[in-house]
Structure 1
Amino acid sequence: MKKEKYKMGKLGKYKFMKKYKMIRKFLPDTRTATLSNLKIMLKLYRSVYLKPDEGTGGHGIYKINRGENSFVLRTGSNSRMFSSLNDLYASIQSILIRDKYVVQEGIELLKHNNRPFDIRVMVQKNGKGTLDVTGIIGRQAKRNKVVTNFHSGGTPLSINTLLKSHLNGESRKQYIQSLERLGKDASTVLGKSYRSKRAFGVDIAIDNKMNPWVLEINTKPDMSIFNTLRNKTMYNRILRYSKIKG
């Protein structure tokens, strides 16, 4: 089997994609999770996420919120408060170093029924080797959880359902099309490095001002989430594309 030209974690993908103007403004600030970077990031942003550089499925993710005179560390549905960032960092330093964590700018996710959600756009190569968007779905976080992932208890929902309380008919339709375009653009850029990959799962966050952000791109995306929808049109299309040989 042909080896990938590059094998990159979250930071490598971020640095590679940042070189391309078409996608740069949609990438949240991402750096190696050192204490000095954490200090800088928490001066710039009210919250940050700590993620394993090569982790998947939402496992091992922490969120840090900056308060007036304290820092709150959240993981799963647990919270711990620290009076200093040094103390917080010391409590998880060994994990951050062992699993090569990155720190990412916290995007305050849009909510549906008071629970945050993000979007997964599935992009796959067709018979001609060009990219098509084959599916788009929302993932709503379990109550009090910091991640939306399906395998961490997140609820898969249709994008129409999640955006109904934020946008009406035609503007919602156009907005969904813009998310699909962003997913395709992001996959086109990363595909310049992962040339042999035939599918990309693009995770997109939407903030309170309706700005989209590309959080991550999976090069081995899970298709089963689309099978949870009652309407199987997308899932069947994704399956059909997955059988196309390169």
Structure 2
Amino acid sequence: MKRTHLGILVRFNSKLNPPFSDQLFFKVISVYCQKKGMVVTVFSPPSILWKERKVLGYQYNTQSKEWEKGAYPIPSVLYDRIAYRNMSQVKEYHAKIKKLQLEENPIILARGLPGKWKVYNMLKNHPIISAFLPETVEYTAYSSWQSKMKEYQSLIFKPASGSNGKGVVKISYFKAKFYVKGRSPTNQPFSKMFDSYEKCQRWLNTFIGRRRYVIQPYLSLSTLLTDEPFDIRILIQKNEHGEWEETGRAVRLGQKNGITSNLDGGGTAVEVSSFLEEHFTEEQVESINKQIETIVAHIPTAIEEKHGALIELGLDIGVDQEGQVWILEANSKPGRKSFYVSKNKEAYIKSLLAPAKYAEHVISQFGGRILV
């Protein structure tokens, strides 16, 4: 009997050996799938050998406990975990994936979400979810954010595509001066000050360049006493029955006086309940949890209705100092590091296995076919 072949799509990184991130994650999937009679190959779209109808990729050998490079048949099922660096790479990879679909017709478990601006527009009119969305506008080199600054006093400028806090900028207006605090594209913190809107705008245009950005009001998403920025990472995944369920949540806590709470920017992760109880009243904690439950119950289907099938969703949830909950970002290719750092072993292991179990469900229940 021919075994089902699951392919994990990645972006190869020549600095790594083997040349891809999340090696433990993919190892767990490989071991689980092999026990279920499936083969797993990790490969990148540019490594497809079109004439040979194969892919140059890696399979995990459970006996030698090593990744083995080879030319393997084109997988019949695809799990997309590609982390793009820029738009040119997006276009290049998408063209190859589209060609693969036309020539081989593989099952694609889910399609990756677009950037923050498009996701915001998917959700802004939803009768329930819209209440949790900060006002968001698209940045252009000619956009006037001066009126928004007068309305909110502080704004945050974010790359339209996920950046782990890199390139995020906060601008505040105080006593006729513009105060800038942010993180560079290489994640280095910096601060600046300008005495006019025009000077600040010129610097901002240079800093952003041709990258796509969105603008939001800066929300007080930090602890009241210690001024440490934080958010709550919630992972929602489809289970072995094809149903959405929450895998776990963790607080990501940034450095004091910072503007982001991403782990790559020097933050850490802690358990949610005790953190909320320490920083909010009992009534606020109850309200926060109810708001989060509402979001978790509605947002996966709300996005799928506009976008198409997903396999998992990472939500970054902000909580302001009054206990109002905000949806900061929805990510279709979420990381699992928060659960590992916060020592939530159960959620961490579950998060690693869920994609393989869902793939098994799709293959067994739907004959391996799902529409995306």
TM-score for the superposition, normalised by structure 2: 0.61
Q: Pairwise mapping of residues 13-52 of structure 1 onto structure 2 (< 5 A)?
A: 13-34=119-140, 35-52=142-159
The structural deviation recorded for 1:55 is: 3.3
Q: Percent of counterpart pairs with the same letter?
A: 28
**Structure 2: segments with no counterpart, 5+ residues:** 1-105, 184-188, 363-372
Size of the aligned set, in residue pairs, is: 246
Question: CA separation of 1:87/1:157 partners in 2, compared to 1, >3 Å: closer, same or farther?
Answer: same
The structural deviation recorded for 1:56 is: 2.2
Q: Contact 2:112/2:332 (CA < 8 Å) preserved in 1?
A: no
Pairing 1:108–2:226 present: no
- One-letter amino acid of the structure 2 residue matched with residue 98 of structure 1: R
**1:154-212 deviation digits (Å, cap 9, x = unpaired):** 11111123212234568636633532431342232122234332110111111111000
Q: Contact 1:191/1:197 (CA < 8 Å) preserved in 2?
A: yes
Pairing 1:213–2:326 present: yes
**Whole-Å Cα distance in 1 between the matches of residues 144 and 304 of structure 2?**
29
1:235 is matched with 348
Question: CA separation of 1:37/1:120 partners in 2, compared to 1, >3 Å: closer, same or farther?
Answer: farther
Question: CA separation of 1:37/1:21 partners in 2, compared to 1, >3 Å: closer, same or farther?
Answer: farther
**Whole-Å Cα distance in 1 between the matches of residues 271 and 172 of structure 2?**
29
Q: Contact 1:133/1:184 (CA < 8 Å) preserved in 2?
A: no
- One-letter amino acid of the structure 1 residue matched with residue 125 of structure 2: K
- One-letter amino acid of the structure 1 residue matched with residue 120 of structure 2: Y
**Whole-Å Cα distance in 2 between the matches of residues 235 and 101 of structure 1?**
32
**Whole-Å Cα distance in 2 between the matches of residues 72 and 168 of structure 1?**
32
CA RMSD of aligned residues (A): 2.3
1:130 is matched with 243
The structural deviation recorded for 1:240 is: 2.9
SS at match of 2:204: helix
Question: CA separation of 1:44/1:169 partners in 2, compared to 1, >3 Å: closer, same or farther?
Answer: closer
Q: Contact 1:156/1:228 (CA < 8 Å) preserved in 2?
A: yes
Q: Contact 1:122/1:183 (CA < 8 Å) preserved in 2?
A: no
Q: Contact 2:113/2:332 (CA < 8 Å) preserved in 1?
A: no
**Whole-Å Cα distance in 1 between the matches of residues 287 and 321 of structure 2?**
18
Question: CA separation of 1:3/1:75 partners in 2, compared to 1, >3 Å: closer, same or farther?
Answer: same
- One-letter amino acid of the structure 1 residue matched with residue 206 of structure 2: S
Structure label with greater radius of gyration = 2
**Whole-Å Cα distance in 2 between the matches of residues 149 and 208 of structure 1?**
19
- One-letter amino acid of the structure 1 residue matched with residue 164 of structure 2: G
TM-score for the superposition, normalised by structure 1: 0.90
Q: Contact 1:121/1:203 (CA < 8 Å) preserved in 2?
A: yes
1:10 is matched with 116
Question: CA separation of 1:118/1:5 partners in 2, compared to 1, >3 Å: closer, same or farther?
Answer: closer
Question: CA separation of 1:5/1:229 partners in 2, compared to 1, >3 Å: closer, same or farther?
Answer: closer
Pairing 1:80–2:80 present: no
**Whole-Å Cα distance in 2 between the matches of residues 6 and 118 of structure 1?**
23
